[in-house]
Amino acid sequence: MDVTLAADDARSRHRHEPAAAFDLIGARYQEAFARNDGQQDVVELLLGRLPAGARVLDVGCGSGLPTARALVDAGCAVTGIDISPVMLELARRNVPEATFLQCDVRDVDPRLGPFDAVVALFTLPMLPRVEIRRALARLRECLRPDGLLVLAMVETDADDEPFSFLDVPVRVSGWPRQQLRRVLADAGFTVWVEDVRLYQPAAPTPGEVQIFLTAEVTPDP
């Protein structure tokens, strides 16, 4: 097969498979991950740093719960993006005050911003490592010069490896925590809080180590 065609096929697969997977998962995601103290705590930490009426981009907003809901309730102007139409329908029902757009993080237009903060909780692991790096660079362009990034990922040493998530096949990527900090630094972020938690979903799903990083844009030299 032609190398260019093979690369195009891979890009197409990475764009369509996650959307199809989360369309199938739908509301089951919220049932399985109904309470995540680490996620709630990192959002509270972010809110303590944001000005009143802050503009926040919620990347991979899912059903809108709990993150978009918490941000809106705190007075933030929230724009959520997701690739799954099913998840977006749930989000619009759960958080009608926010704006939700069907959009891949790799295609997000920096002109949507500037945002005071970007929240990406367990979204980027659906991408290959090289695409995660590119997505982080694009998200930096969406932020104000003093903007904040909240990132959550499962700690793993994997690059686009197959995984069964709530009985739906997906592909996942990640890094050990020290390497993940370097990835953020390379993308132009300075980590100021790291929180690592062991989490057990309310489902027949293995427990996982979750990394929550709160970072700010590193000033240009």
The separation between CA 53 and the C-alpha centre of its own chain, rounded to angstroms, equals: 21
| Contact by Cβ (8 Å): 177, 155 | yes
pLDDT, residue 165, reads: 64
Residues contacting residue 14 through CB under 8 Å, at least 6 positions apart: 127, 128, 131, 160, 171
Residue located via tokens 């977006």: 88
Domain that holds residue 154: 3-217
Distance CA 183, CA 185 (A): 5
pLDDT at 6: 36
pLDDT of 8: 41
Q: How many domains does the chain have?
A: 1
Dihedral sign (CA 198, 136, 45, 66)? negative
* 3-25 helix and 85-94 helix, angle to the nearest 10 degrees: 40
CA distance from start to end of the chain: 44
Q: How many residues does the chain have?
A: 221
For 86-136, how does the pLDDT look when each residue is reduced to its tens digit (9 = 90+)?
Answer: 889 999 999 999 999 999 999 999 999 999 999 999 999 999 999 999 999
Low-confidence ranges of the chain (pLDDT < 70): 1-34, 165-167, 203-205
Q: How far is CA 174 from CA 45, 93, 141, in A?
A: 23, 31, 22
CATH number, domain of 120, equals 3.40.50.150
pLDDT of 64 reads 95
* Cross-strand pairs, 216: 148, 190
